[in-house]
Amino acid sequence: MKVLLSIKPEFVEEIILGNKKFEYRKSIFKRKDISSIVVYATKPYGKVVGEFEIEDILVDNPYNIWKQTKEFSGISKSNFNEYFKGKQKGFAIQIKEFQKYEIPLELFEFDSTIKMPPQSFCYTNGGI
């Protein structure tokens, strides 16, 4: 099973460049059989651009997550702090190796059952 994550285009670019090796989340999927993440670059791009296997998922308070991941965060500390503001717990999905699709896909081309991009994530069996 895979998860489709919506990620802002500027952060997708940092993942592709290898500068961002952690994707931060306030909440995470409950299923334990998720092995890979499919990346949907949000508007204005609005396409499914690639996927990666999950190396690890860190669960901790945001302060400790930043200490462990800041070198490969791909974002500023102020962006990180703003995102996790008021949260006691956070998640950092470690990106094993990003596989960029040769041709980015429209959402319906990737998985015809998904009608709208997920606010955060959704489960999917679609893909290449």
Confidence of residue 126 (pLDDT cuts 50, 70, 90): confident
Strand (E) or helix (H) holding 78:
helix 77-83
Confidence of residue 127 (pLDDT cuts 50, 70, 90): low
The C-alpha angle with vertex 29 and arms to 24 and 31, in degrees rounded to 5, equals: 145
Distance CA 60, CA 80 (A): 14
Statement: the pTM of the whole predicted model exceeds 0.85: yes
- CATH code for the domain defined by 2-124: 2.30.130.30
Tens-digit pLDDT profile for residues 29-70: 999 999 999 999 999 999 999 999 999 999 999 999 999 999
Distance CA 91, CA 96 (A): 16
Tens-digit pLDDT profile for residues 82-111: 999 999 999 999 999 999 999 999 999 999
CB burial of residue 56 (10 Å; 0-12, 13-18, 19+)? exposed
